[in-house]
Amino acid sequence: MQKRVVFNNRLLPYALLAPQILVTAVFFFWPAGQAIYQSAFIPDPFGLKSQFVGFGNFEFLFSDPYYLASFQTTAVFSAAVTLLSMGAALWLAVMADRIIKGSGAYRTLLIWPYAVAPAIAGVLWLFMFNPNVGLVAWYLNAIGYDWNHVLNDGEAMGLVVVASAWRQISYNFLFFLAGLQAIPRSVIEAAAIDGASFWKRFWTIVFPLLSPTTFFLLVVNIVYAFFETFGVIHTITGGGPQQATTILVYKVYADGFIGQDLGSSAAQSVVLLVVVGLLTVVQFRYVERKVHY
């Protein structure tokens, strides 16, 4: 039986909703509308004049092989970051969940990296792997591996993926741990009495019961990989070498703020908006069906 609240004053519900709607309108609908409007123009950087080009900016984008390649780069990057950060976090959470003594210290240490800003995380990793001054690069060199992510695109991609995932592991760990602790002990103990091994219990009981958390984290991590990894990429590779690490959101920045091409930048934002919208729909329609609440 649902409880229904009835407002006597007709205006009150609108007044109560107003702040949220206002925030959404100002910080989402207005900028999004601006981006759509601007994507039909090629303005000069100073905003002195602008040329109406209709869908010209989109035509320019989709005839650019580097832009199309950026979709693939983004897909590879997001998938790798999400898998790595969620996989590692789940493993750590399962391990931390079993610890009886000193678990508080372990958990605190594992959560720490989340407090590091993406740009700083990027610089930390860059200092370790910089081919000129990096400590890890130096050791790699000493054992005969010529590390140079400035020229090697595979190494560059690997480095930005690890640096981006590293930070997100803490966040995922926190949620996985909470999810694990919410699973009733009685279910697991019953399975243990029936003779199920640790991994058997994990795959048949724990993992399915954890699926709401996993699904939530999947959505959050993909959005993170799409948008928030900008700082890491900017500091470590600047999108190079040969655009091997230029993901969609980085290209929006590079074209808008380095190239001063605001028309193309706006068009790319619109494309990104559509892509993320589609991705969210797909996740909720197809992946969520497999989730047990």
Partner 1 sequence: MAHRKTLAGLVAATILAGSTGVSYAATEIQWWHAFSGRLAELLTEQVEKFNSSQSDYVVVASHKGNYSETLNAGIAAFRAGEQPHILQVFEVGTATMMSAKGAIKPVFEVMEETGKPFDADAYLAAVKGYYTTTDGKMLSLPYNSSTPVLYVNRDALTKAGLDPDMDLSTWDKVNEAMDAVKASGSSCPLTTAWQSWVHLENLSAYHNVPFATKENGFAGLDTELSFNGPVQVKHIEAMGQWAKDGKFIYAGRRNEGGARFRAGECAFFTESSAGYAGVKAEADFAFDIRPLPYWAGTEGAPQNTIIGGASLWVMAGHKDEEYAGVAEFLNFLSSADIQASWHQNTGYLPITMAAYEQTKDAGFYKENPGTDIAILQMTGKAPTANSKGLRLGSFDQIRGIIDEELEAVWSGDKTAQAALDNAVARGNQLLRRFEQANR
Identity of the residue, 48 or 193, whose beta carbon is nearer to partner 1 in the bound complex: 48
Stretch that binds partner 1, among 13-21, 75-83, 218-226, 261-269 (CB under 8 A): 261-269
| Position among 94, 96, 119, 152 found at the interface with partner 1 (CB under 8 A) | 152
What CA–CA distance (Å, rounded) separates 149 from 137?
A: 10
Identity of the residue, 95 or 258, whose beta carbon is nearer to partner 1 in the bound complex: 258
In angstroms, what is the minimal distance from the CB of 34 to partner 1?
A: 13
Main-chain dihedrals φ then ψ at residue 253, nearest 5 degrees: -65, -50
Stretch that binds partner 1, among 24-32, 148-156, 187-195, 224-232 (CB under 8 A): 148-156
Q: Where does residue 221 rank: exposed (0-12), middle (13-18), buried (19+ CB within 10 A)?
A: buried
Residue 117 is classified by DSSP as -
Identity of the residue, 221 or 246, whose beta carbon is nearer to partner 1 in the bound complex: 246
Cis previous bond, 241, omega within 30: yes
| Position among 13, 31, 33, 45 found at the interface with partner 1 (CB under 8 A) | 45
Question: Does residue 240 interact with partner 1 by CB under 8 A?
Answer: yes
Question: Does residue 53 interact with partner 1 by CB under 8 A?
Answer: yes
Query: Who's near 67: CB < 8 A, 6+ residues apart?
Result: 61, 251, 268
Question: Does residue 237 interact with partner 1 by CB under 8 A?
Answer: no
Question: Does residue 253 interact with partner 1 by CB under 8 A?
Answer: no
What CA–CA distance (Å, rounded) separates 268 from 91?
A: 37
What six digits make up the tokens of 191?
A: 């399975």
